[in-house]
Every structure is written in C-alpha cells, then in structure tokens.
Structure 1
C-alpha cells in the first residue's frame, strides 16, 4: 500500500512496519521518502553493535554506521536480491569499519607481542562484572588483523553462522573458519583467565542488552 507523502506520521510508520525490508528498499528506489528511514529504524541498533565491536570505539563506530547508511541510501539500486537486505547492510557496515581501520593504518600486533602482552598482564586482578570482561574482550580484539577481527565479531559475538558471516564478508566459508581459528589462537593467551567460552557468551548477551537498553 502506497500512502501519499502528506499522510500522518503514524500512518506512514504503520505502513512501513507491515512491509518487508525488500519492499521498503524497492519503495525507496521508487521515490518513497519514508521507506529508507524505516529500514534504518529497524536495523540501526544491530549495525551499531557490529561496528562498535569491530572498531572498539564509540565515535568511530557511529561514524562508520553513518557512512554505511549514507552509502546504502545512495546505492540502493545496486541491491540485486541475491541475499537478505540485512546481509547487504551488514556487508556495507563491515566494509565501512574495515575502511576506517585501513585509513588509520592500524597495525596488527605480531604473535610474539601477543605472548609478551599475556605474560606482562599476569596475574589478572579479579573482575567485578560483565562490563570489565567486555572491556577486556574489546581490547583484545583490537590486537587482531582487521579480517580476523571482523570474522570473530560476526561469528563469536554476534552469533552468525559461518555461512552467514561468509555472505556478509563476501568470502568462502573456509576463509571464515580459517580467520576465526587464527584469531582465537592469537586471543587465547590474552584471554586465558576468562576460563571458558561461557564467559564470552555471557558478555555478548549482556552487552547486547546494554546496547538495546541504552
């Protein structure tokens, strides 16, 4: 159903909520001035979470998400429907994050430096809650090369399947598996004090709730 541009905002929002992402994108391409705003409303929180965990800096993440949505707005007609709109948006957001990391020439930490960092930080003090653990995980992720960090954020922190992460990053599933394995191996000595994987899962869930509530 196409509503006239001067329809009440509540009516516009109700119409948008009843549409699929693909419908909204088609309407946006066709000139609907409200359709893309609904796409942003639906997905901005999750895109923000991906950007924040990938970049580890709220200001950089906000800029990356803004860049990504501007790019998606302008290039909507490049969407071919071969993947879900959300996958397409995630790919744009992750690419925006990687571009920012490359422009800043962030140097990945070498393996021997990771070992030195782990030894230097031992013993680890007690942690008082999920926020402390989350900060440690975010700091550790910054030590990884951009491609490994992006894969781990999608698979281990956002809960994407290897297949979905491969679609987002535009690489084979085997590449995602390899990047995750190498990333986990590099993080192991630094995060060894987080005794088991449930700690990371707990952090991911808590951080997601924090982002939604904020």
Structure 2
C-alpha cells in the first residue's frame, strides 16, 4: 500500500488516538496509517545504524513486525514516534550483532547511485567513519542527528539516563571528528 492509498483510507474524523485504539484492537489498516508517517525516518535510522541497505531493509521489516506485535502493549508513556524509533534502533543493532564476518562488500555502499562523485566520496567517508563508532554511541548519535530526537526522547527510547545520552553523543562526535579531520 503506497502513501496515497494510506491517506485515501483516512477518514478526516480519524484522530491519532482513534487510530491507536483501532490498531491496539488488531486493525492492520489503522496500524499502517499510524506508522506510515514515521516510515522514512525509521528507514533512515536503520540505514545509518546498520551501514548498508540490505541490513536496513531487514531491520525496518523486523521493527515493523515487532511494533505490530507490541502495539497492544503501547502505554503512551512516550510518543509513538519515540517508541517506534526505539524499536527500529534495537532492530538495527540486532542486525549488526547477527551480521556474519563474511558479509558481501557490495552491500556496504547505500549511496552508490548518486551522480555527483564528490557527494559519493564524502558520503562513503562519513558512513565508513560512522561504522567505526561503537554500536551504543552510533545508535544514540543516529537518533539525535538523523532521527532528530531530543536528548530526553533518546533517553526514553533507549532506556538510559540523560547524562549517558550526552556522553554517548559527545564521544561519537569526538570519534567522528578525528576520523573525518581531513574533510574540513
């Protein structure tokens, strides 16, 4: 179902609360409408954490399945987006842990189709540097930079303290700064 189909199904009287209630009751269309708004950002988070398109696709699928299975348990303590991004980042981290050492090198470059050579080089360098950042720091950094979550939202999404969020982001930035010093 594409975005236009999803939006054509939305009755103007459907509020987010109504959709959530219907999704909790097992309505797959309501769930699809709820998550459609967050799909692109969820995809970007999975891609940045895993570092390749194949694993990101699998992580996104895993995240959506996990969210569907758990939507009945969503209490609303956090925003739906925060809850989804936590599931997505956890699914992406799980993919990294499962990844075998024999992964194909071809899966590495999600930006290879860009026409501008300089953008490709810079994007590759950033992605390579990001892949060298420890998983916990990378996930927190990605939620901040690509997920555009606040520090408190990240803390809630990852189940960690606010100071830990600050520390992880600071360490990730420091590592990236060193690895990308020649791009300045």
* CA distance in structure 2 between the partners assigned to 1:55 and 1:27 by the alignment: 32
How far is 1:162 from its partner? 1.5
Q: 5+ residue gaps in structure 2?
A: 102-115
* Alignment-derived partner of residue 89 in structure 1: 84
How far is 1:40 from its partner? 3.0
Pairs aligned (count): 166
1:191 partnered with 2:161: no
Deviations 1:157-190 (A, max 9, x none): 3332212221221111100111112222222221
Q: Is the CA contact (8 Å cut-off) linking 1:162 and 1:176 kept in structure 2?
A: yes
How far is 1:10 from its partner? 7.8
Describe the shift of the 1:63–1:10 C-alpha distance in structure 2 as closer, same or farther (beyond 3 A).
closer
1:132 partnered with 2:121: yes
Describe the shift of the 1:105–1:185 C-alpha distance in structure 2 as closer, same or farther (beyond 3 A).
farther
The aligned runs of 1:98-177 (5 Å cut-off) are: 98-104=93-99, 128-177=117-166
Moved over 4 A (4+): 9-12
How far is 1:72 from its partner? 0.8
* Alignment-derived partner of residue 44 in structure 1: 39
Describe the shift of the 1:105–1:128 C-alpha distance in structure 2 as closer, same or farther (beyond 3 A).
closer
Q: Taking structure 1 as the reference length, what is the TM-score of the superposition?
A: 0.70
Q: 5+ residue gaps in structure 1?
A: 1-8, 107-126, 196-214
1:14 partnered with 2:10: yes
How far is 1:97 from its partner? 0.9
Q: Taking structure 2 as the reference length, what is the TM-score of the superposition?
A: 0.80
